[in-house]
């Protein structure tokens, strides 16, 4: 059996390629005329492009709002929860006239001040991305928490607890409003 000659085989392949190229070139034809733009398609394309850009912008804005909401609501739950725990410990100690009543009073006032400061700091950090109604609810909480902290610090052994109870109700209302406005976890 005789093997193929590589040079001869290469020459046959090259000749075949040239022949196919000549046939294809001979079969082609040109299109006469002047190219024009289909205005209906251009208008449709522009409308679709604008719609797509608007959707992308809307999605980006929604993502920013979701991030700002999470950035505020998540830390709020922790700091407000801590403040509520310290306040309840103080109320229990005050009602029982416990020996550590003053220490728990100061801890409750400090926890409320810290929670208010943390919420306020986070609001400032997120800027305009947070919806205005949620900003208002957080701001009401900050004001109410600071007012309750001030009432706690004023409370002495024989003083009326009515101002403390009023301030506590305002904090509870503000806390509930924020919790209801924040997405559930």
What pTM did the predictor assign? 0.68
Highest mean pLDDT out of 75-79, 122-126, 148-152 = 148-152
Q: What is the mean pLDDT of residues 125-132?
A: 85
pLDDT band at 4 (very low <50, low <70, confident <90, very high): low
The confidence score (pLDDT) of residue 22 equals 72
pLDDT band at 155 (very low <50, low <70, confident <90, very high): confident
**Closest residue by Cα to residue 73 from 168, 141, 138, 143:** 138
Arithmetic mean of pLDDT over the chain: 85
pLDDT digits (tens, 9 = 90+) for 13-47: 778 777 777 777 666 667 677 777 777 777 777 77
Highest mean pLDDT out of 21-25, 61-65, 113-117, 121-125 = 113-117
The confidence score (pLDDT) of residue 2 equals 62
CB of 147 within 8 A of CB of 173? no
**Closest residue by Cα to residue 84 from 145, 140, 135, 138:** 145
Angle at 119 between CA 117 and CA 125, to 5 degrees: 100
User: In this structure, what token pair is assigned to residue 169?
Assistant: 């109700």
The confidence score (pLDDT) of residue 16 equals 79
pLDDT digits (tens, 9 = 90+) for 39-88: 777 777 777 777 776 676 677 777 888 888 888 998 898 999 999 999 99
Q: What are the residue boundaries of the structural domains of the chain, listed by start?
A: 51-181
Structure-model confidence comparison of residues 106 and 70, the more confident one: 106
């Amino acid at each position: 059996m005789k093997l193929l000659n590589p040079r001869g085989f290469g020459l046959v392949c090259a000749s075949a390629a040239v022949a196919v190229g000549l046939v294809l070139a001979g079969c082609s034809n040109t299109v006469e005329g002047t190219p024009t733009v289909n205005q209906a398609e251009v208008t449709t394309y522009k409308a679709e492009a604008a719609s797509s850009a608007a959707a992308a912008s809307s999605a980006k804005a929604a993502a920013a709002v979701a991030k700002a909401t999470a950035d505020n609501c998540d830390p709020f739950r922790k700091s407000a929860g801590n403040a509520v725990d310290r306040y309840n410990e103080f109320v229990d100690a005050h009602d029982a006239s416990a020996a550590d009543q003053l220490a728990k009073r100061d801890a409750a006032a400090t926890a409320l001040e810290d929670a208010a400061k943390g919420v306020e700091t986070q609001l400032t950090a997120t800027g305009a991305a947070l919806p205005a109604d949620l900003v208002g609810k957080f701001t009401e909480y900050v004001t109410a928490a600071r007012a309750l902290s001030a009432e706690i610090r004023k409370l002495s052994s024989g003083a009326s607890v009515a101002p403390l109870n009023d301030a506590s109700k305002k904090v509870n209302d503000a806390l509930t409003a924020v919790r209801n406005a924040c997405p559930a976890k």
